[in-house]
């Protein structure tokens, strides 16, 4: 993990955003980038002296774009813009999301295409390095003109106003936090207010964090499926490379390769392989795992490509072009990001749905190939993992609701000037909740599958699935009489969400 991330020399990569957002990597701004920032600012100051109006420099904003603002009122104009747009409401947004948003806005400022002064760039970097996190509220962004309200809460803190949390998580005024860190508040000048709030940084930051997490969860889904196939006496023959090659979908091939590796050398699988096995084929939730998990992988690959292009963007309105023109544009519209956020929510819901079906099969005595009902110790007296499956089913039901796209739900604003919006922020917020749900559903499958593996003793699992079972056993006891189930689900969910389940399985092969 990077300990220092340099902004401005080349576009950030997803790992940079994760490092700063989650692991408090320090940021530094490239010297050449600062030279570009100063050069562009000189153009803005020249236009500020022009008696002809220029949008965002000597005019109002949005529906007030035709209103000329006299020079002596422009500092007030910038402050008023930020104060009025910092209109978020609801619960606090997670610290990692706000830090990602701040870093991505800093990157755009450092391109030299926004027209801010170097001091603004330096102050954003200083806030990140001091661990000062503006309090951003859940609701307020329509994803066009970018994430206005969330970005405004950050800009307000740069001005020394509003609420923040310091590096220790304590709530205080921005003025107090900046003073304690030795950072001077910024008095915004022409164009700078717009430059700080016109961007897709919030939704993009959440997309990058979600993509990072989903990559691990999809490997975990392959692990969970392997445990289910093995413990339910399914066949690994359907995952053969030559069968996958008949349908050359990249994600499918990757998931099938994982399943082959995770099941390699399994004595349980070997115990029912051969002519004496009377089973013709497994249910879809076992047999088609690579097809579903693979489709999710391909969706993630598409979303990652969109995110990469957005990372290489300088989103502002107006923007200062390379040849020095100041032009209005629509690049702040969040549609490209919003679409893939919604697309990922669909994939997450489907992967979880298939996982829950595999869990249910393990608990059903009519379909589990010899396992006790609900994997109970004393069937009838004990309920085993019956209600753990209920929890998974309830989450899957919610994930289906979260899969309904936000990006088709445009709602007009700003006196019909902003008459079509992306709702990308909302798409990102629901994807974060969906990923939490997927982790829990996979944890329940892993927990169920590991109990089923134990119940196949004395037959032993494969190296990879056995390693996962042993990991789970460090947190959750094996089969036995009924006990308090909720803490066990939480413990395995932590192993899934941290990536430990995936790491242990991959390391074993």
The residues annotated with a catalytic role in the active site are 55
User: CA 106, 107, 113, 119 torsion: positive or negative?
Assistant: positive
CA dihedral 445, 262, 222, 300 (to 10 degrees): 150
In contact, 201 and 105? CB cutoff 8 Å: yes
**Cα–Cα distance list, 468 to 351, 384, 475, 490 (Å):** 20, 21, 11, 16
The answer to whether 152 touches 178, Cβ cutoff 8 Å, is: no
- The length of the chain, given as a count of residues: 509
Backbone dihedral angles phi then psi of residue 139, each to the nearest 5 degrees: -110, 145
Estimate the share of the chain in helix, then strand, then coil, as percent rounded to the nearest 5: 60, 5, 35
Separation between Cα atoms, residue 192 and residue 301, nearest integer Å: 35
Rounded to the nearest 10 degrees, the angle between the axes of helix 424-455 and helix 486-497 is: 110
Q: Choose among 451, 435, 432, 434: nearest CA to 489.
A: 451
Contacts of 323 (CB under 8 A, 6+ apart): none
Element containing residue 134 per DSSP (H, E): strand 133-134
Q: For tokens 């109002």, name the residue.
A: 60
- C-alpha neighbours within 13 Å on the C-beta side of residue 469: 25
Helices 118-130 and 31-48 meet at what angle, rounded to 10? 130
């Amino acid at each position: 993990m990077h300990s220092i991330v340099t902004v401005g020399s080349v576009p950030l990569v997803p790992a940079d955003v994760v490092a700063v957002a989650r692991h408090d990597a320090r940021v530094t701004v490239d010297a050449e980038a600062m030279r570009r920032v100063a050069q562009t600012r000189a153009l803005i100051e020249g236009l500020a002296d022009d008696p002809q109006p220029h949008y965002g420099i000597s005019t109002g904003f949005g529906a007030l774009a035709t209103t000329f603002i006299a020079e002596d009122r422009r500092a007030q104009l910038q402050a008023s813009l930020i104060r009025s747009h910092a209109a978020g409401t609801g619960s606090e947004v997670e610290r990692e999301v706000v830090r990602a948003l701040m870093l991505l806005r800093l990157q755009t400022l450092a391109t030299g295409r926004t027209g801010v002064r170097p001091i603004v760039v330096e102050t954003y970097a200083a806030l990140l390095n001091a661990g000062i996190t503006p309090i951003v509220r859940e609701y307020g962004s329509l994803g066009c003109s970018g994430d206005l309200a969330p970005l405004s809460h950050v800009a307000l803190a740069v001005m020394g106003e509003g609420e923040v949390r310091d590096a220790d998580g304590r709530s205080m005024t921005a003025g107090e936090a900046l003073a304690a860190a030795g950072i001077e508040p910024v008095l915004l000048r022409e164009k700078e207010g717009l430059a700080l709030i016109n961007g897709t940084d919030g939704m993009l930051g959440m997309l990058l964090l979600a993509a990072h997490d989903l990559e691990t969860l999809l490997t975990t889904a392959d692990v969970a499926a392997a445990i289910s196939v093995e413990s339910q006496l399914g066949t690994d023959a359907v995952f053969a490379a030559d069968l996958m090659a008949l349908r050359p979908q990249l994600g499918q091939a990757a998931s099938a390769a994982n399943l082959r590796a995770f099941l390699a050398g399994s004595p349980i699988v070997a115990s029912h392989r051969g002519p004496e096995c009377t089973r013709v084929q497994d249910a879809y939730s076992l047999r088609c795992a690579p097809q579903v998990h693979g489709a999710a992988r391909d969706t993630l690959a598409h979303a990652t490509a969109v995110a990469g292009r957005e990372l290489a963007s300088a989103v502002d309105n107006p923007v200062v072009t390379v040849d020095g023109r100041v032009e209005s544009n629509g690049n702040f519209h969040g549609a490209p990001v919003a679409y893939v956020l919604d697309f990922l929510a669909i994939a997450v819901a489907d992967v979880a749905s298939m996982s829950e079906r595999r869990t249910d099969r393990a608990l059903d005595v009519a379909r589990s190939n010899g396992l006790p009902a609900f994997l109970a110790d004393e069937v009838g007296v004990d309920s085993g993992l019956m209600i753990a499956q209920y929890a998974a089913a309830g989450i899957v039901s919610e994930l289906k609701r979260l899969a309904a796209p936000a990006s088709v739900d445009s709602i007009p604003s700003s006196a019909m000037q902003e008459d079509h919006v992306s709702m990308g922020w909302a798409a990102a917020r629901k994807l974060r909740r969906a990923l939490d749900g997927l982790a829990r559903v996979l944890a329940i499958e892993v927990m169920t599958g590991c109990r089923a593996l134990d119940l196949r003793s004395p037959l032993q699992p494969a190296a990879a699935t056995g390693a996962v079972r042993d990991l789970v056993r460090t947190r959750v006891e094996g089969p036995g009489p009924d006990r308090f189930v909720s803490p066990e689900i939480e413990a395995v969910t932590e192993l899934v969400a941290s990536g430990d389940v995936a790491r242990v399985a991959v390391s074993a092969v």
